[in-house]
Structure 1
Amino acid sequence: MKKFEIKSLSHHPNSIEFTWHDIGGMYHVYRDRELLYEGTVAEFKDGDFNHARMYTYSIEQVENDKVVRVIALQTSAYAEQRNIENPLQFLVMSTIVTKTKIVLSWEEISEVDEYNVYRNNEFMVAVKTNHFTDYRFSLDESYVYTILSKRLLAKSEETLSKSKSVVAGIFGALNPVSNKEEATTEEFRVTKLIGKPNALLIPVLEKQRRTNINRWKFRYTTFIKEKWIKNPNILAMDHYFKGDNRDFDSEAERFRTRVDIELAYDKPKTPLTFTKEIGQTVSYNRAKRFRQKAVASYDGIKLVRLDHEEEEVGFLLTHSVGNPLVTAPEIDYEVRAVMQRNGTFDITGFHDQAPHHEIYMSRGSEKNWMPIHLAESKGLAWMSEITAWQYWRHSNFE
């Protein structure tokens, strides 16, 4: 007997189309609790959607007016435009959940030859294709899947040849063990949080309507792990800088910069609250005696609210903050987020590969911080404009 599973899934500029194995009976297709199809033909075409938005479908097989089997499918619609600066922002992603397997599929990233798949931070497999199927899982457990990949920065040879002296200076002084290939390697991290399969596979009309998420909290912090940072300019009077002397910690009081954003769906006009803090930069002489201190300008941290449709609000956060005491590369990053009132989120961004970056999110009235992206510094050399970014994306299917 054929298994009740997705047979094909395709995305086009004006449609999302999928078929499933025909095992007989009547079929229902829901999109976010709305019944869109009822019939005996095992195929569906959706042409009424917003580009780049993420949608959830339930495909149900019905016999004698009773739902017998369910397929849960989440996919993002084709994007009309692409963001050249962030290849992951509009990447088409799909997740399929059945009783017997979990399938992750993603649009290929140009020039990437291999993808490393992790589940709950444990390595699973390296794949050459843009999909992964997990057959060994519990129906009563949630999972976090991460797909890691790398590629050389486009036209890196040309870029580096024009800036050879800069590269030699930065990497020789700040990170002698680095090499050109490392500095021009872009890293991509795509993470999907998947809820308990048994909960995803409940027939739509039997599911309790999810409690709305009235409050979203988002925190982005950059920090220097070391206690002391030596100035690579040996002639400078500011010979040392004080680091933050800590590891990842959502509530840590020491940092270079911190941004907090809160979205309140339960207030009129759904306000977006934005606060930003910058840690003090302190320098010392060769004997580690205090010389001077200052706080960098807040002007480089900017937030733009992005309203999509009802009960779907997001933001664009950009960050460029430097050392206020000496001329040095700035800490640069960008984040784009969509946080729906039903609890679905899709957050993507990119950043310098130094210093440490930590990103957390909380859903609800309390600060139950969930790590979204934690990236260790590769050394101050990776703050240079010629080195490659690290790209990331985190979304959920619950």
Structure 2
Amino acid sequence: MKKFFVLPFFLILFLCLCSIPKSYAKEASIDTKVKNGHFILKVNEKGDKYKFFKNGEPVYEGSSSKVSGDISMVGDKYKIGIFQNDKLKKVVTLNVPNDLQQETPNSFEGSYAEDLMAYQIQKGHLNIVADTESVELSWDELPDKDGIYEVYRDDQKIGETKNREFTDNNVKSGERYNYSIQVRIDPSLPEQKEIEKKIQELGSNLSEEEKSEIMSVEGSLSAVVDLPENKESYLESKDSILDDVTNNDNFSVQGKLPKDNMKGWDYKTFIPYKSVADPKPEFKKTYLKGDNRGFSDTSNKIRTQALVNTQFHSPTSITLYKKVGQSARCSDPDCKKVIARKTASSAGIKLYINSKKSDYLHWTVTHAVGIPFADYYPKIDYSYNVILTKGMASISGKHDKAPNHEFYLSAPSASKSTTIYRYAVKSKDDFWNLWFWAPKKSWKTELF
């Protein structure tokens, strides 16, 4: 039975008392201070004129290198032009998240360590300051076993640090990157003993390293960023990940809706191998057929798919389309001889609409779908929550550490999908995670 409870009051109080207004080192290209929904931006690079754009709209032009004001409900994207002798010297972009409490789930499930990780990830932000040559990252404090934050770009590790800041100088103007900070902690000793007991009951011969991986409480904090171009046309455009340029003649085929109005949020699970050992065969050694593929936003080889289509207007809507792939049980690892085929019910994939307005959408998807050959098989569980405005999206979730998970954002106007989140199992043995009440991984991605 799943347990649902709110983090203890003393823990929330402790985290609130320990939080510090976001402020970054003076040597950064831009100093950012955020407190109680109010911000101050100060550009440190010298110029004789500055132009500030907020979510594609001009907010200031003049000799001052500093602006201040209130932040939108979820956050804002700023483009800043630095001019010298009436010529554009540099374009800098940054995200400014709102530090006030957002509409996020206030109940959790799992162990104390798992709930602590989920809470910190949900409330955290990965802050981005980017120009044509570098990306400066800074983030809120996160729980981590050894205090070393691992930094990833597009699923590849690019560094690690004990500080809460990192600069990537190996970037190209005009490219899109997905940055993430990866952390992990151990569950409590009683929780470790419970997992160890379950491993022994199932007769698994996992190594100590594999047991450590199963017990690990993992988290990732991410942001997707478009590197700017040093052009006034880019500075003054409304181009962003969520807001494509449109005009009255630029319509999609479906219902003649503006292209920037339609979004598809596609979450899929799949088994990357040709097959995996059946974790609990009834009579003898058997195998479950896999999808035998890598990450792909277009593949239809899936275990499950939850596609949410959204529109802000014409009409305002949030709609779920769900699909479950057929499962096959085989007598050989190549699955040349199939013993049984069956498709699990999609009833465990559910959509909850929290808010549906013409400028603000908020929804939650939950997922609990099992292997359909017997009731004793564990279900694959995940959930995610999206807060969406026309200029920003905050997406957070939790999932089992098997099988692979992938989440993409697409739009009729976009030439390709944007990767929101990906998770890959490390080996075929990771599918034992589903049996051991292993902690779920918590994650968050912000799009500006």
Shorter chain as denominator, the TM-score bin is 0.7 to 0.9
Structure 1 residues 61 and 5: alpha-carbon distance in aligned structure 2, compared to 1, 3 A threshold: farther
- 1:285/1:221 CA distance change after superposition, 3 Å: same
What is the rounded CA distance, in whole Å, between the counterparts of 1:245 and 1:41 in structure 2?
57
**Residue 111 (structure 1) aligns with:** 144
Deviation at 1:306, TM superposition (A): 4.1
Q: How much does 1:63 deviate?
A: 7.2
Q: Which residue of 2 aligns with 1:18?
A: 41
The gaps in structure 1 that reach 5 residues or longer are: none
Shift of 1:231: 3.4
1:132 aligns with 2:166: yes
Instruction: Give the Å deviation of 1:182.
Output: 1.6
Give 1:348 shift: 2.8
1:75 corresponding residue in structure 2: 96
**Aligned residue type for 2:326:** Q
User: What residue ranges of structure 2 are gaps of 5+ in the alignment?
Assistant: 1-25, 106-114, 247-258
Change (3 A) 1:324 1:45: same
From 278, 303, 309, the counterpart of 2:351: 303
Residues 79 and 195 of structure 1, relative CA distance in 2, 3 Å threshold: same
CA shift for structure 1 position 35: 4.5
**Which residue is equivalent to 1:47?**
70
Specify the alignment match of 2:420 in structure 1. 372
Distance change (3 Å), C-alpha of 1:75 and 1:357 = same
Report the alpha carbon displacement of residue 301 of structure 1 after superposing the two structures with TM.
1.0
SS of equivalent to 2:292: coil
* Residue 332 (structure 1) shift: 0.8
- State the shift of 1:336 in Å: 1.9
**Is the counterpart of residue 386 in structure 1 residue 437 in structure 2?**
yes
Out of 369, 377, 396, the residue aligned to residue 328 of structure 1 is 377
**Deviation of 1:365 (Å):** 5.8
Contact 1:174 / 1:381 at 8 angstroms: preserved in 2?
no
1:35–1:225: structure 2 CA closer, same or farther, 3 Å change rule? closer
Q: Which amino acid aligns with 1:193?
A: V
Q: Which residue number corresponds to residue 125 of structure 2?
A: 92
Q: Give the TM-score taking structure 1 as reference length.
A: 0.80
- Match of 1:88, SS state, is helix
CA contact (8 A) 1:244 1:254 kept: no
SS of the residue corresponding to residue 11 of structure 1 reads strand
1:373 is displaced (CA, Å) by 2.8
- Pairing 1:216–2:251 present: no
Encode CA deviations 1:191-244: one digit per residue, 9 max, x unaligned.
43322421687575576883361221122222223444433446x237524313
| Counterpart secondary structure, 1:219 | strand
Q: Distance in 1 between matches of 2:177 and 2:194?
A: 42
- The residue that corresponds to 2:293 in the other structure is 247
Summarize the Cα distance change of 1:21–1:284 in structure 2 as closer, same or farther, 3 Å threshold: closer
Q: Report the residue type matching 1:116 in the other structure.
A: E
Q: Which amino acid aligns with 2:434?
A: M
The structure with the largest helix share of the pair is: 2
Q: Give the Cα–Cα distance (whole angstroms) in 1 for the partners of residues 216 and 352 of structure 2.
A: 30
Task: Measure, in 2, the Cα distance between the counterparts of 1:254 and 1:22.
Answer: 50
CA displacement 1:20-49 (0-9 Å, x = unmatched): 338464555432244545665543332353
Deviation of 1:181 (Å): 2.2
Query: Could you tell me how far apart the structure 2 residues matched to 1:368 and 1:354 are?
Result: 27
Which AA in structure 2 matches 1:210? V
User: Aligned match of 2:225 in 194, 219, 236?
Assistant: 194
Q: Which letter does structure 2 place at the counterpart of 1:256?
A: R
The CA RMSD measured in Å over matched residues stands at 3.7
Percent identity over the alignment is: 21
Give the stretch that moved more between structures: 159-168 or 54-63: 54-63
Query: Are the counterparts in 2 of residues 215 and 363 from structure 1 also a CA contact under 8 Å?
Result: yes
Secondary structure of the structure 2 residue equivalent to 1:87 = helix
Return the TM-score normalized by structure 2.
Answer: 0.72
